[in-house]
Structure 1
Amino acid sequence: MALTLPTLVELDEICDKLRISLSSEDLIAYQGMMQGYVDAYNTVDAIPGKKPETYYPRGGWHRPAAEENKFNEWYVRCAIDGEADGPLKGWDIAVKDNVMVAGIPMMNGASTMEGYTPNVDATVVTRLLKSGARVVGKANCEYFCLSGGSHTCANGPVRNPINPERMAGGSSSGSAVAVATGECRGALGGDQGGSIRMPASFCGIVGMKPTFGLVPYTGIMPIEITVDHVGPMTRTVADNAKMLKALAGKDGFDPRQVYADEQVQDYEALLDKGVAGLRIGILQEGFGWAESDPKVDARVMAVARKLAELGAEVSQVSVPLHKLGSTLWAPVGIQGLYATMLVGDGYGISREDYYATDLMKFHARWRDQADEMSATTKLLMLFGEYVNARHGSYHYGKAINAVKTLRAAYDEALTQFDMLLMPTTPMTATEFPADDDVSQVKGAFEMLANTSPFDLTHHPAIAMPCGDVDGLPASVMLVGRHFDEARLYQAAAALEASL
């Protein structure tokens, strides 16, 4: 990707944009001074790229026909066999389509990415294959993962397998459906505002958003580095714990993983220990949102009573700042994703990471196809540019600073309790929105009030089904201390056995 010296006309245009005044003579001088930098950039471009090793042979792939893609859960199907033996031997795994699998197409739900094929496996894919799993396909996800509904994917809406007239949740929509229908035993999901837990809630499965950095994000298309999480989606709690065990730990690339190795636990160790003596706080602010279904709130309160019957110490706790969590997410999510995923061509700058430069080069073409984008992407892009032009990163910085106070408020509550309990989503699976952009955006973001705060504060959170409301799954979310996933699995397993 050779760089050329800017012309004097181009330099003059840049000066206008940056409000720099240079004379004609100055322009010539500055042009000359840039030659050394152009040469340096081109030397860098010629350096052979170092990338993660890719293991395990892979054959072809195919776009599934309608009869094998009933709910539009799959983007492509494939068959990549891992080790002959291992803890996940015999497991079929679906991979969310923002996760790189070498030689298998990836479009991250976006028409602007169609035609891109990664040349590396994400670390999580390598780890699953090394554990004996088999990758059976890429699961559809929402357009650039920017929706909690399942209606924005460029390949068409992903339908809820329990009621196809309802949404499957997003953005890991196809992953949730593939698990719920039994087409695979586990799936990889990504979570920046609730995108593992919201589809888990709508489809009635188990989804874990691990502590930030516990599972490496290397080889996954980012949204914003401070909220990027990847984790397991399964039908059972035990399977979820086993899958997380295969995924966790440092990989040497991901800068999110400062403390990951020191904090890896045996996530299966407490599955049969019951909840006697566990202290569980019912988070008052997690109930009674304007969009809450009172039946969902009641169903989750019944779960709290069940946990008390099983021997847990259950009582109410208040964290008033929880109501501010999704508000704080807005500047971080909007400014962060605009700078990283769009202006930064998927990665942005200023961190040590594995930069998938082939993806960055391919993704840069979004600038010529912006009209194709989903309403959610357009809205966040337009507002991000508006704020950047007038206030720069000021509000992003204010929000990140405020997140520390929010994190401390949860941490204080978690000194009194082992975990917090609330509905995962305030409602069950919603209907598909109308085609107008206002309805499309509302249908994408109305369900993330309880999930998004914990992407900011990095606490682990597990969503699991807890009964039906009017024939659709309700879901309870348990939130724990950082790197205390094993205790969340302990409570979730006891609850699962009792329902």
Structure 2
Amino acid sequence: MLWSGLFRRLGGYGRVVVQRRGKGRYSAPAVRTPSLQQLARAADRFNLDLSQAELQEFQNYMKGTLESYQRVDQLVEPLPTVKWPRTPGWRPEPKENPHNAWYWRTEITGAPSGKLQGKTVAIKDNVAVAGVPMMDGSRVLEGYIPEYDATIVTRILDAGGIIKGKSVCEDLCMSGNSFTSATGPVLNAHDNTRSSSGSSSGSATLLALKEVDLAIGGDQGGSIRLPAAWSGVVGHKPTHGLVPYTGCVSMDITIDHVGPMARTVADTALMLEVLAGYDDGLDPRQSPNLTVPEYTSQLTGDLSGIRVGLLKEGFGQETSEADVDDMVREAAHKLTSAGATVEEVSVPLHYPDGTHIFNAVAIQGTMQTMMKGNGVGVGWKGFYPTSMVDAFTRGYNSRGNDMSAALKHVALLGEFLDENYGNRYYAKGQNLVRTLTKAYNEALDTHDVLIMPTIPFKPLKLPDEDASISEICHQALGSKEISLIHNTCPSNVTGHPGLSINAGFSQPGLPVGMMIVGRHFDDATVLKVAHAFEKIRDS
């Protein structure tokens, strides 16, 4: 009587499943039977007029269906193998982390030999490292420790890399600026009053400070290339699906990219050789027919026959600064000394419609996948990290108010669109992606790469602590007046590879990024052009 009375007072948590073995063994239900009140709320959501008697019938029938959930809960799911030993590490003190670029420090040593032997690596904190805390820049995931390694982590360790820790990223990666992380702003390595951009803010800063040799970045709207530009390092967003995303927090599987960052193009290419390749069906973004060339062998410095297109719409935007445009044009024309031809090419859909199409996909896609879908979403085959799903579920329920203003904007707008328009604009946006992709492909039929500024203006000052919601959203997500992503986000929806390299420094000593975009799965040419420029720049 005591237990049955308690369950009634707890609001109909459902029956306790009793397994009779000898004297009896009790097993709590994995999924409780919904109460009639909960079923009534679900009925209202779908505009169903159901009587109490009908709801009772559905409730009774569901008890049998829920036995499947009980059994699934008891079965052991397969997890990626954790091959290399490690300790949890430590949260660094401010004195050893003055730019706030490290979230967590550790030391994980992999194979004694390999392509990355002895090279130190920072892992962006939206990438799982087993046994090491993973916050993804957000209070929502604070305290979560994954029990699996992301595929790229295993590949780095198999290649002899040494993981030195987790780099700070923006709050659930939803910012092109570097001040939304729950652990505080990441400071620009060249001017600590300014942003290092985002969301791979920590990775770029650690590279610029020479604290690591290599870093992992993630890119859903420019988040590898943007901080690479404002930190003066190299960041490569690979062709969509070239590098497996398995074990990383997803925002929308059609725009998710993860890739290498380094101080040199050669190290970036070397790291891509290690990261790229098929992941045995664990990542739906990939094709089993992937081939990975030896990118480093193609870094010859010779661009004979290479046709470079200066993308007209990538320059002269409303927020463009003349010195940035001029520096990138000048840098691109220097490629002629390596044998390339350089001329202007136009893709009218690039700006501003490329950003509008991206927004239609990214806002509701992120809402459905990362927020309602707890970082994984539904509808694809591969590895689903269920422990992360649980962590997101708990975090959204308990720490939602602690999300950044940028995330709250996405939550509010995404929910409004869902309730009032369904997925209409997400669907139309995805359809228009085909048109945008065709436009870039036509330009890339006549040119091997397209070049433009990564960000059309120099690093911004970090906002004050009392910045308004409007100011935070303007700087984190962009607006007509301030938009970091106009040139980067279109290739997230089209999947073309893109790389940012430092074109030089403009007054007052701030780095300017040049972006090189190439054909699908022709990352080799993108890297080749970047390497040739690097040689010219540094000669």
Q: Which residue of structure 2 aligns with residue 417 of structure 1?
A: 447
> How far 1:242 sits from its partner (Å)?
0.3
Deviates more, 1:185-194 or 1:485-494: 485-494
Any idea what SS the aligned residue of 1:474 has? strand
Question: Where in structure 2 are there 5+ consecutive unaligned residues?
Answer: 1-28
Q: Which residue of structure 2 aligns with residue 364 of structure 1?
A: 393
Q: How far apart in 1 are the matches of 2:247 and 2:255?
A: 16
> How far 1:108 sits from its partner (Å)?
0.1
Matching of residue 467 in structure 1 with residue 504 in structure 2 = yes
Q: How far apart in 2 are the matches of 1:273 and 1:197?
A: 22
Q: How far apart in 2 are the matches of 1:272 and 1:67?
A: 42
Q: How far apart in 1 are the matches of 2:104 and 2:497?
A: 30
CA RMSD of aligned residues (A): 1.0
What are the residue-to-residue correspondences of 1:16-165 with 2, within 5 Å?
A: 16-165=44-193
Q: How far apart in 2 are the matches of 1:489 and 1:6?
A: 55
Any idea what SS the aligned residue of 1:170 has? coil
Letter in 2 for 1:96: K
Q: How far apart in 2 are the matches of 1:56 and 1:24?
A: 56
Shift >4 Å, 4+ stretches: none
Q: Which residue of 313, 331, 334 maps to 2:363? A: 334
Matching of residue 402 in structure 1 with residue 432 in structure 2 = yes
> How far 1:9 sits from its partner (Å)?
2.1
Contact 1:162 1:203 in 2 (8 A): yes
Contact 2:319 2:456 in 1 (8 A): yes
Contact 1:263 1:483 in 2 (8 A): no
Any idea what SS the aligned residue of 1:369 has? helix
Letter in 1 for 2:424: Y
Any idea what SS the aligned residue of 1:482 has? coil
Q: Which residue of structure 2 aligns with residue 243 of structure 1?
A: 271
Q: How far apart in 1 are the matches of 2:196 and 2:522?
A: 28
> How far 1:273 sits from its partner (Å)?
4.1
Q: How far apart in 2 are the matches of 1:384 and 1:311?
A: 48
TM-score, normalization by structure 2 = 0.91
Letter in 2 for 1:85: S
What are the residue-to-residue correspondences of 1:68-467 with 2, within 5 Å?
A: 68-252=96-280, 253-258=282-287, 261-323=289-351, 324-365=353-394, 366-434=396-464, 435-444=467-476, 445=478, 446-467=483-504
Q: Which residue of structure 1 aligns with residue 524 of structure 2?
A: 486
> How far 1:32 sits from its partner (Å)?
1.2
TM-score, normalization by structure 1 = 0.98
Q: How far apart in 2 are the matches of 1:25 and 1:148?
A: 52
Deviates more, 1:472-481 or 1:16-25: 16-25
Letter in 2 for 1:485: D
Contact 1:287 1:422 in 2 (8 A): yes
> How far 1:16 sits from its partner (Å)?
2.2
- The structure whose Rg is larger is 2
Any idea what SS the aligned residue of 2:512 has? strand
Letter in 2 for 1:158: V
Any idea what SS the aligned residue of 2:160 has? coil
Q: How far apart in 2 are the matches of 1:339 and 1:167?
A: 29
Deviates more, 1:465-474 or 1:14-23: 14-23
Question: Where in structure 1 are there 5+ consecutive unaligned residues?
Answer: none
Q: How far apart in 2 are the matches of 1:60 and 1:454?
A: 36
> How far 1:24 sits from its partner (Å)?
2.1
Per-residue CA deviations over 1:273-299 (Å, capped at 9, x if unaligned) read 421221000100000111111100000
Deviates more, 1:246-255 or 1:360-369: 360-369
Any idea what SS the aligned residue of 2:217 has? strand
Letter in 1 for 2:407: T
Q: How far apart in 2 are the matches of 1:191 and 1:13?
A: 38
Contact 2:301 2:535 in 1 (8 A): no
> How far 1:262 sits from its partner (Å)?
2.9
Contact 1:269 1:486 in 2 (8 A): no
> How far 1:346 sits from its partner (Å)?
1.2
> How far 1:441 sits from its partner (Å)?
1.0
